[in-house]
């Protein structure tokens, strides 16, 4: 009895995390740290390295927001969440934002009362299959055994795909990507289905990647993006414009190398406004005037983040594809800083 | 004597509530009751206000909406168009299936290991000690993961059965296939089924479920006939015993009459329904036909049984050791043979010690089956407590139902086992 | 006499013959084997079968284990080294352990501060030693009292005054019980000892700690609980849950034994509900639902929620263990206490509980082993225990695809820990048993 009171006091003394309220930004600034929900481990997107530093594409978004809100990209408290716990963690205020491959869907946005601030990766569900089976199209998968991660939208997509094409399949549910990989390689399932970025990342680590093909069909749209709680628009705006800033910086040619130079002043008014030399965009969001300078100098622009974590030179080896700038035929289209 | 004073008139003072032992227990209970009510009220109020803040309501309506996901192992009809309630029911049946299978195998393994650990064979006793200590001291979750991985790595994949010179072949006259997706065994179906023309469905289905549910009515009839014939056989046995007691001679052939009564009607019904074996065979990507015991089920089953078996082995060992040696010696002195000594003297006494902890290990096994999540076995925690909660965002309602299911299951198991325990206990006197 | 003897017997040995060795089948290894391995046909078959099983397992595992590669940066490098050395069978890539062992043990705790959890573990060991081993001097119990605060401070860091301010509350409670009894009466003292410290903790402890820290800042670097992981996390959850659940469990056990109807029924319901539902469901409750039960302005971090939930879970099991201990005491102990005129709490505190708890220790230890093993379930709610970390490690592109090595390492660590605990518990049980006969 006495000891449990002691525990309660510990909570009062400082272990208690922030409570849910509308003022997320104030809380983050008072705390001096951003609580960011990430995946427990997905190659290229979020995983801790041997020093315990989190690395990856989603992790970089957290760092960018921390750089904007607090001026320090390392002031992030990474909270690993599973497919099952992520939404509760966000709803309860345990994390300030989710930067975790979360698909933007109607129910999640409206019914579960979250706010998707934008899209940082356009993905789609695909299939991977061993080359030796000689299958060239997902339409030939009738009767196949399919490995699939539970607790994700992929389950529903898969059921819809096979039902609409009048095909039969046997789902093999697995808990994590790592388990799925082991099952697939052992041949316990013919096909592995998940977001095609995940497929590419997984295939890249196989002993013989060329023995596996990724089907050309993409059976779903998976717009992945950071999520915040419904109802705190100031915080949502901040996260949204950090994301837009990352994309715009690439479009405008602002990189981590030249951002300091450009911050001195340029003749491009868009860059001027974004980097805080013109207008009061930072203070309007409730943060420093040079917020985008902090962001770009610490994590780089969208293109740099992509290339560093999942680009073609990394083991993951993803092409830009849909995630190229609109000027290059992709879907990334930053809204104007004006 | 006459000077004895009248006892002081009973006057109730408030302090008596605390200092008078007659009232004190009442006071304590009332205070405790009020405190508990206050705590419950506080929790309830918090839930209501939190739900309000999140804009959620408390509503079980989601159970009636379309589930939208598929479940690979289903003992009853289910498709992704079924409701969430149906999905939960499929999960419940899967949980119960693995729990029952697990308890049975764990008991067998536990008894064997417990007896062998007392064996005077040095190496066998050591081997069993390694088994028991190994499983008792490493988390069940690790065992489940490891056994699942071993099963997928060590068994051939379906593609190995293909080709002119396959690397693997089916066993038992091409009737059973052991693959890393599970074990395929022949299935019985009925050409003259009572439930209509269901033969087509069984043969078409590339993924026959563990127990072909299509012929439920046929199985019901068969079981009914079987139970009836067993009752008949018992009646014959009673008649024979009565005759023996009356005349001293047991009627000739009574035993064979009993056997015939049990076997013949069932076989006749079986044949009348047109029972045929459906052998598994390679179809498309997988084996088709037959009954598919999935790897997830087998791995979970084995892991639960091996883990719990290690605990049961210790219980059995302790139980046998608790019967003093004098009992054995006395039985031998009476001229009982060793196996009758075991059956009539040692076991009934050992059971008294074994049963109560055995019950709690059955309960543990049932609860541990919720670790099915690690191998993707679709038990109730994965369907109702996993995918359904995740897709509908109804964690409060879902977890409540889930907890209720486990609670009821536990209470039923412990209730039934306690009744059995009492019946064993009575033999003590 | 000797004559007749000499006539009837032709030969009498005058000296003892030298001792001979027993027949070869009756001595040494051969005898042992005959008795222990081949005493009957069945045993012989079992022996051969066992030997075959052992050979089969070793033949499959040994080359893989022994030939393992310890020095590599990534799995692909492991494969290159294997191919370069011309080994044509699979070998283990133990390099993942050399690279990541510190994460499996300590999570993300800063490596320069590893001495802190280690010291905390040593202090914890010193604290429970006098409870576990009776031969140690009783004065060591002082360490036991200070240990929780010290361990908390070492693990989480921060100002030293926080834990001291909290500990001071216990001092107040103790002082009220000891010195206030004459002033307030027995019942008043107990109530005061509960109410005053609670009020102190709720309203005074925080400001007092802060004020002391402001005047005399002593502290060590603060570590957030998100940095905790690996076996450290498992041990912290297991140990704190058991320690915290003991008082609650004892109360529940007393409640279940009690004659008071309401208290009895409440205890029974609590214990049965907790025990009837699997831990994983409770953990999901902690992660998904606990926030519904708390007022909106209070929110604990996940690790604390898990500790609370596991504590409640363990307390139900501890209650059953203690109830067993209470039931095992001879009835005379209760009657003796009553005849001395002790009231309920005095009887419990001075006579019943010390004996009941002593015989419950083996049960408590095995509950702890079970709980420690069950901490692996926290992986399902996203805490990075050893298994969770193994998944995170496999998500790193350097080690993606590694499997057995991590699980074998984790399993081995668990085995060493749990096996030694269970050996202790068995030793204690034997000791207690002889004491009672």
pLDDT tens, residue by residue, B47-93: 888 888 777 778 888 888 888 888 888 888 888 888 888 888 988 99
Closest to A337 in 3D by CA, of A285, A288, A286, A300: A285
Check B121 against C276: CB less than 8 A apart.
Answer: no
The predicted structure's pLDDT at residue A97: 92
The predicted structure's pLDDT at residue B388: 86
Q: Is A225 helix (H, G, I), strand (E, B) or coil?
A: coil
Same domain, A67 and A205: no
Does a structural domain hold residue A333? no
Beta bridge partners of B188: B277
The predicted structure's pLDDT at residue C186: 66
Tokens representing residue B156 in the block: 């051939």
> Is the predicted pLDDT of residue C139 greater than 80, yes or no?
no
- Any idea which of A74-78, A142-146, B353-357, C178-182 has the lowest mean pLDDT? C178-182
Does a structural domain hold residue B320? yes
The predicted structure's pLDDT at residue A135: 85
Q: Is A63 helix (H, G, I), strand (E, B) or coil?
A: helix
Whole-number Cα distances in Å, B148 to A50, B298, B302, B360, C339: 28, 8, 9, 26, 61
Does a structural domain hold residue B253? no
**Alpha carbons B50 and A92: distance in angstroms, whole number:** 10
Domain boundary residue among A220, A243, A259? Answer: A220
Check A80 against C396: CB less than 8 A apart.
Answer: no
**A82 in contact with B at a CB cutoff of 8 Å?**
no
- How much is the mean pLDDT over chain B? 80
Residue A304's pLDDT band (cuts 50, 70, 90):
very high
Distance from CA of C325 to the nearest CA of A (A): 20
Collect contacts of A321-327 with beta carbons under 8 A, ≥24 apart.
A321/A122, A322/A122, A323/A121, A323/A122, A325/A247, A325/A250, A325/A251, A327/A251
> Is the predicted pLDDT of residue B211 greater than 80, yes or no?
no
The minimal CB distance from C103 to the residues A4, A52, A185 is found for A52
Size of interface B-C (CB pairs under 8 A): 146
Which is higher by pLDDT, C56 or B181? C56
Q: Where are the beta strands (DSSP E) in chain A?
A: 34-39, 47-48, 54-55, 76-81, 97-98, 114-116, 121-123, 125-130, 144-149, 169-174, 191-195, 212-214, 222-224, 227-229
**Alpha carbons B25 and B7: distance in angstroms, whole number:** 25
Q: What are phi and psi of A285, to 5 degrees?
A: -80, -10
Check B137 against C410: CB less than 8 A apart.
Answer: no
| CATH code for the domain in which residue B100 is found | 1.10.3720.10
Does a structural domain hold residue A334? no
Chain B residues touching C296 at Cβ < 8 A? 46, 49-50, 53
Same domain, A205 and A271: no
B400: DSSP letter: H
Q: What is the domain range of residue B138?
A: 58-155+300-429
pLDDT tens, residue by residue, A187-211: 888 899 988 888 887 887 787 888 8
Percentage, residues of chain C above pLDDT 90: 5
**Alpha carbons C150 and C142: distance in angstroms, whole number:** 12
Strands A76-81 and A34-39 come out as: parallel
Chain C residues touching B381 at Cβ < 8 A? 278, 280-281
Chain B residues touching C266 at Cβ < 8 A? 32, 36
The continuous run of DSSP H or E covering B388 comes out as none
Same domain, A169 and A288: no
Same domain, B40 and B118: no
> Is the predicted pLDDT of residue A330 greater than 90, yes or no?
no
**Alpha carbons C250 and C324: distance in angstroms, whole number:** 11
Closest to B146 in 3D by CA, of C410, A319, A257: C410
Same domain, A214 and A275: no
**Alpha carbons C121 and C106: distance in angstroms, whole number:** 12
| CATH code for the domain in which residue A54 is found | 3.40.190.10
Q: What are phi and psi of B427, to 5 degrees?
A: -70, -10
> Is the predicted pLDDT of residue B175 greater than 90, yes or no?
no
Same domain, B419 and B318: yes
Same domain, B31 and B147: no
**Cα Rg of chain C (Å, integer):** 31
The predicted structure's pLDDT at residue C188: 72
**Alpha carbons A181 and A41: distance in angstroms, whole number:** 13
Q: Which residue of B has its CA nearest to A156?
A: B69
Distance from CA of C268 to the nearest CA of B (A): 13
**Alpha carbons B300 and B319: distance in angstroms, whole number:** 28
Whole-number Cα distances in Å, C147 to A334, B45, C153: 56, 38, 10
Q: Which residue of A has its CA nearest to B394?
A: A112
Whole-number Cα distances in Å, C409 to A7, C75, C87, C231, C375: 33, 16, 23, 11, 17
The continuous run of DSSP H or E covering B187 comes out as strand B187-190
Same domain, A236 and A188: no
Same domain, A91 and A154: no
- Any idea which of A246-250, B215-219, C174-178 has the lowest mean pLDDT? B215-219
What's the length of chain B? 429
pLDDT tens, residue by residue, C19-38: 888 777 777 777 887 777 77
pLDDT tens, residue by residue, C262-280: 888 888 889 889 988 999 8
**A88 in contact with B at a CB cutoff of 8 Å?**
yes
Contact indicator for B286, A145 with CB cutoff of 8 Å: yes
> Is the predicted pLDDT of residue B200 greater than 50, yes or no?
no
The b/e string for C78-90 (b: 16+ C-beta within 10 A; e otherwise) is bbebbeeeeeeee
Check C302 against A94: CB less than 8 A apart.
Answer: yes
Which is higher by pLDDT, C278 or A7? C278
The minimal CB distance from B69 to the residues A159, A186, A190 is found for A159
Does a structural domain hold residue A234? yes
The predicted structure's pLDDT at residue B2: 52
Tokens representing residue A260 in the block: 């300091």
Check A41 against C304: CB less than 8 A apart.
Answer: no
Does a structural domain hold residue B179? no
What domain count does chain A have? 2
Check B149 against A182: CB less than 8 A apart.
Answer: yes
Same domain, B308 and B398: yes
Same domain, A237 and A323: yes
> Is the predicted pLDDT of residue A3 greater than 50, yes or no?
no
Same domain, B47 and B79: no
Tokens representing residue A338 in the block: 């004006």
Same domain, A29 and A99: yes
Q: Which residue of A has its CA nearest to C169?
A: A6
> Is the predicted pLDDT of residue B323 greater than 80, yes or no?
yes
Tokens representing residue B377 in the block: 């076995």
Exposure of A30 in the CB half-sphere (CA atoms within 13 A): 8
pLDDT tens, residue by residue, B264-318: 888 888 787 777 777 777 776 777 777 788 888 888 999 999 999 999 999 988 8
List subunits contacting chain C, requiring 3 or more Cβ pairs under 8 Å: A, B
**A7 in contact with C at a CB cutoff of 8 Å?**
yes
Q: What is the domain range of residue A139?
A: 125-220
Mean pLDDT computed over C103-109: 85
Same domain, B327 and B364: yes
Closest to B374 in 3D by CA, of A158, C278, A176: A176
**Alpha carbons B167 and A187: distance in angstroms, whole number:** 14
Mean pLDDT computed over A318-330: 88
The predicted structure's pLDDT at residue A93: 81
Domain C101-109+226-436 class?
mainly alpha
Collect contacts of C257-264 with beta carbons under 8 A, ≥24 apart.
C257/C323, C257/C326, C257/C327, C259/B25, C260/B25, C260/B28, C260/B29, C260/B32, C261/B29, C262/B29, C262/B32, C262/B33, C262/B36, C263/B28, C263/B29, C263/B32
The minimal CB distance from B385 to the residues C284, C376, C403 is found for C284
Contact indicator for C364, C337 with CB cutoff of 8 Å: no
- How much is the mean pLDDT over chain C? 83
pLDDT tens, residue by residue, C38-82: 777 888 888 888 899 999 989 888 888 888 888 888 888 888 888
Same domain, B63 and B27: no
pLDDT tens, residue by residue, C337-396: 889 888 787 888 888 888 888 888 888 888 888 889 988 888 888 888 888 888 888 877
A85: DSSP letter: T
What domain count does chain B have? 2
Same domain, A45 and A117: yes
Q: Is the ipTM of this complex over 0.85?
A: no
The predicted structure's pLDDT at residue A240: 92
Does a structural domain hold residue B12? no
Same domain, B307 and B411: yes
B374: DSSP letter: G
Please list the alpha-helical segments (H only) found in B192-215. Answer: 199-204
Does a structural domain hold residue A295? yes
End-to-end Cα spacing for chain B: 55
Q: Which residues contact B412 (CB under 8 A, 6 or more apart)?
A: none
Does a structural domain hold residue B96? yes
Same domain, A146 and A109: no
Does a structural domain hold residue B207? no
Closest to C319 in 3D by CA, of C239, C407, C250: C250
End-to-end Cα spacing for chain C: 59
**Alpha carbons A201 and B143: distance in angstroms, whole number:** 28
Does a structural domain hold residue A269? yes
Same domain, A246 and A267: yes
Does a structural domain hold residue A6? no
Same domain, B308 and B414: yes
Check A88 against B395: CB less than 8 A apart.
Answer: yes
- Structural domain boundaries of chain C? 24-97, 101-109+226-436, 161-220
Q: How far is CA B92 from the centre of its chain?
A: 12
Sequential DSSP letters for A103-122 = B--HIIIIITTEEE---SEE
Closest to B150 in 3D by CA, of A145, A186, C67, C399: A186
Chain B residues touching A179 at Cβ < 8 A? 376
**C401 in contact with B at a CB cutoff of 8 Å?**
no
Domain boundary residue among A170, A188, A220? Answer: A220
A positions 249-268 inside 8 Å of C (CB) = none
**Alpha carbons B141 and B375: distance in angstroms, whole number:** 10
**Hey, what's the torsion of the CAs at B399, B404, B406, B409, to 10 degrees?**
-160
Residue C143's pLDDT band (cuts 50, 70, 90):
confident
- Any idea which of A247-256, B36-45, C398-407 has the lowest mean pLDDT? C398-407
Same domain, A146 and A90: no
The predicted structure's pLDDT at residue C388: 85
Does a structural domain hold residue B44? yes
The predicted structure's pLDDT at residue B165: 67
The predicted structure's pLDDT at residue B105: 94
Same domain, B307 and B426: yes
The predicted structure's pLDDT at residue A65: 93
Tokens representing residue B271 in the block: 């044949």
Mean pLDDT computed over B159-174: 70
Tokens representing residue C240 in the block: 């704190």
pLDDT tens, residue by residue, B101-157: 999 999 999 998 988 888 778 888 888 999 999 999 999 999 998 898 888 888 887
What is the CB neighbour count within 10 angstroms for residue A263? Answer: 20
Check C418 against B399: CB less than 8 A apart.
Answer: no
Residue B164's pLDDT band (cuts 50, 70, 90):
low
The predicted structure's pLDDT at residue A305: 92
A332: DSSP letter: B
Strands A121-123 and A222-224 come out as: antiparallel
Does a structural domain hold residue B110? yes
The predicted structure's pLDDT at residue B199: 42
> Is the predicted pLDDT of residue A7 greater than 80, yes or no?
no
Q: Which residue of B has its CA nearest to C43?
A: B121
The predicted structure's pLDDT at residue B4: 55
Residue indicated by tokens 């492991």: C78
Check B142 against C414: CB less than 8 A apart.
Answer: yes
List subunits contacting chain A, requiring 3 or more Cβ pairs under 8 Å: B, C
> Is the predicted pLDDT of residue B96 greater than 80, yes or no?
yes
Q: What are phi and psi of B294, to 5 degrees?
A: -70, 155
Chain C residues touching A315 at Cβ < 8 A? 397
Residue indicated by tokens 């203690």: C322
């Amino acid at each position: 009895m006495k000891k449990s009171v002691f525990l309660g006091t510990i909570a009062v003394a400082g272990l208690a995390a922030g409570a849910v309220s509308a003022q997320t930004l104030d809380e983050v600034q008072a705390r001096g740290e951003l609580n960011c929900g990430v995946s427990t481990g997905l190659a290229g997107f979020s995983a801790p390295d041997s020093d315990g530093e989190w690395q990856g594409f989603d992790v970089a978004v957290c760092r960018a927001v921390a750089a904007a809100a607090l001026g320090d990209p390392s002031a992030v408290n990474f909270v690993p969440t599973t497919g099952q716990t992520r939404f509760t963690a966000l709803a309860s205020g345990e994390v300030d934002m989710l930067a975790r491959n979360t698909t933007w869907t109607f129910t999640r946005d409206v019914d579960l009362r979250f706010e998707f601030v934008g899209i940082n990766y356009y993905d789609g569900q695909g299939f991977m299959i061993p080359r030796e089976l000689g299958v060239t199209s997902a339409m030939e998968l009738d009767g196949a055994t399919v490995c699939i991660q539970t607790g994700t939208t992929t389950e529903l997509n898969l059921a819809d795909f096979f039902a609409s094409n009048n095909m039969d399949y046997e789902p093999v549910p697995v808990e994590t990507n790592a388990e799925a990989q082991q099952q697939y390689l052992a041949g316990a399932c013919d096909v592995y289905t998940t977001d095609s970025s995940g497929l590419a990342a997984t295939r890249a680590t196989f002993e013989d990647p060329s023995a596996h093909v990724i089907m050309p069909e993409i059976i779903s749209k998976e717009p992945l993006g950071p999520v915040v709680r419904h109802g705190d628009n100031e915080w949502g705006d901040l996260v949204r414009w950090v994301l837009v800033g990352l994309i715009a910086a690439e479009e405008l040619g602002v990189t981590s190398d030249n951002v300091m130079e450009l911050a001195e002043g340029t003749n491009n008014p868009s860059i001027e406004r974004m980097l805080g030399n013109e207008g009061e965009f930072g203070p309007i969001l409730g943060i420093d005037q040079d917020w985008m300078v902090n962001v770009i100098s610490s994590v780089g622009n969208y293109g740099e983040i992509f290339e560093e974590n999942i680009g073609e030179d990394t083991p993951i080896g993803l092409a830009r594809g849909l995630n190229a700038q609109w000027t290059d035929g992709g879907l990334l289209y930053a809204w104007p800083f004006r | 004597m006459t000077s004895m004073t009248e006892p002081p008139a009973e006057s109730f003072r408030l302090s008596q509530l605390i200092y008078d032992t007659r009232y004190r227990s009442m006071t304590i209970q009332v205070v405790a009751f009020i405190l508990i009510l206050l705590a419950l009220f506080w929790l309830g109020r918090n839930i209501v206000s939190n739900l309000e803040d999140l804009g959620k309501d408390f509503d079980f309506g989601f159970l009636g909406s379309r589930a939208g996901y598929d479940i690979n192992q289903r003992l009853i009809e289910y498709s992704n168009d079924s409701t969430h309630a149906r999905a939960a029911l499929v999960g419940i049946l899967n949980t119960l299936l693995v729990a029952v299978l697990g308890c049975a195998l764990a008991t067998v393994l536990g008894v064997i290991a417990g007896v062998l650990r007392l064996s005077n064979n040095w190496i066998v006793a050591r081997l069993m000690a390694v088994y028991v200590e190994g499983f008792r001291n490493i988390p069940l979750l690790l065992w489940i993961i490891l056994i699942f991985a071993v099963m997928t790595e060590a068994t051939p994949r379906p593609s190995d059965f293909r080709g002119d010179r396959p690397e693997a072949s089916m066993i038992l006259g091409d009737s059973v296939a052991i693959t890393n997706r599970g074990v395929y065994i022949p299935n019985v179906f009925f050409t003259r089924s009572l439930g209509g023309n269901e033969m087509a469905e069984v043969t078409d289905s590339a993924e026959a479920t563990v127990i072909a549910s299509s012929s439920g009515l046929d199985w019901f009839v068969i079981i009914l006939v079987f139970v009836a014939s067993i009752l008949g056989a018992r009646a014959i046995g009673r008649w024979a015993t009565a005759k023996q007691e009356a005349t001293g001679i047991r009627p000739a052939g009574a035993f064979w009459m009993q056997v015939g009564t049990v076997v013949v009607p069932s076989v006749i019904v079986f044949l009348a329904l047109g029972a045929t074996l459906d052998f598994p065979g390679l179809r498309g990507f997988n084996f088709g036909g037959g009954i598919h015991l999935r790897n997830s089920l087998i791995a979970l089953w084995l892991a639960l049984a091996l883990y719990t078996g290690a605990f049961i082995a210790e219980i059995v060992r302790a139980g046998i050791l608790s019967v003093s040696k004098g009992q054995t010696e006395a039985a031998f002195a009476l001229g009982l043979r060793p196996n009758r000594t075991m059956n009539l003297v040692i076991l009934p006494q050992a059971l008294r010690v074994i049963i109560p902890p055995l019950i709690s290990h059955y309960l543990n096994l049932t609860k541990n089956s919720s670790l099915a999540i690690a191998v993707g076995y679709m038990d109730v925690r994965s369907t109702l407590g996993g995918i359904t909660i995740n897709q509908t965002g109804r964690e409060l309602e879902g977890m409540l139902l889930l907890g209720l299911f486990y609670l009821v299951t536990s209470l039923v198991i412990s209730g039934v086992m306690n009744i059995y325990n009492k019946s064993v206990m009575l033999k003590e006197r | 006499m000797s004559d007749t003897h000499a006539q009837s017997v032709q030969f009498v040995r005058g000296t003892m013959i030298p001792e001979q060795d027993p027949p070869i089948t009756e001595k040494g290894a051969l005898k042992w084997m005959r008795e222990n391995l081949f005493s009957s046909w069945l045993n012989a078959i079992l022996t051969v079968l066992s030997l075959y099983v052992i050979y089969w397992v070793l033949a499959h595992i040994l080359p893989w284990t022994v030939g393992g590669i310890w020095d590599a940066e990534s799995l692909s490098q492991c494969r290159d080294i294997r191919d370069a050395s011309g080994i044509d069978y699979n070998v283990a890539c133990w390099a993942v352990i050399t690279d990541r062992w510190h994460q499996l043990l300590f999570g993300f705790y800063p490596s320069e501060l590893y001495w802190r959890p280690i010291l905390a573990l040593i202090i914890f060991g010193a604290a429970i030693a006098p409870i576990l081993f009776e031969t140690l001097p009783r004065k060591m119990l002082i360490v036991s009292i200070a240990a929780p605060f010290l361990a908390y401070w070492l693990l989480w860091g921060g100002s030293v005054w926080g834990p001291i301010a909290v500990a001071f509350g216990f001092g107040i409670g103790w002082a009220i019980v000891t010195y206030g009894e004459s002033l307030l009466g027995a019942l008043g003292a107990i109530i005061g000892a509960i109410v005053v410290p609670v009020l102190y903790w709720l309203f005074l402890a925080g400001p007092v700690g802060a004020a002391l820290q402001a005047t005399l800042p002593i502290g060590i670097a603060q570590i957030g609980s998100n940095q905790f992981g690996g076996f450290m996390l498992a041990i912290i959850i297991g140990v704190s849950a058991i320690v915290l659940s003991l008082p609650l469990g004892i109360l529940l056990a007393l409640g279940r034994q009690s004659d008071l109807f309401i208290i009895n029924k409440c205890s029974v319901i609590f214990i049965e509900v907790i025990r009837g539902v699997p831990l994983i469901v409770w953990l999901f409750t902690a992660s998904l639902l606990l926030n519904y039960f708390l007022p909106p302005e209070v929110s604990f971090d996940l690790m604390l929620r898990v500790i609370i939930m596991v504590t409640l879970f363990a307390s139900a099991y501890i209650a059953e263990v203690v109830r067993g201990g209470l039931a095992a005491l001879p009835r005379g102990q209760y009657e003796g206490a009553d005849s001395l005129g002790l009231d309920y709490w005095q009887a419990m505190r001075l006579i019943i509980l010390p004996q009941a708890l002593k015989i419950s220790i083996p049960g408590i230890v095995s509950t702890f082993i079970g709980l420690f093993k069950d901490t692996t379930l926290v992986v399902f709610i996203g805490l990075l225990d050893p298994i969770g970390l193994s998944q995170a490690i496999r998500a790193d592109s350097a080690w993606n695809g590694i499997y057995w090595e991590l699980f074998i390492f984790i399993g081995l660590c668990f085995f060493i820990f749990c096996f030694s605990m269970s050996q202790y518990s068995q030793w204690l049980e034997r000791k207690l048993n002889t004491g009672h006969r």
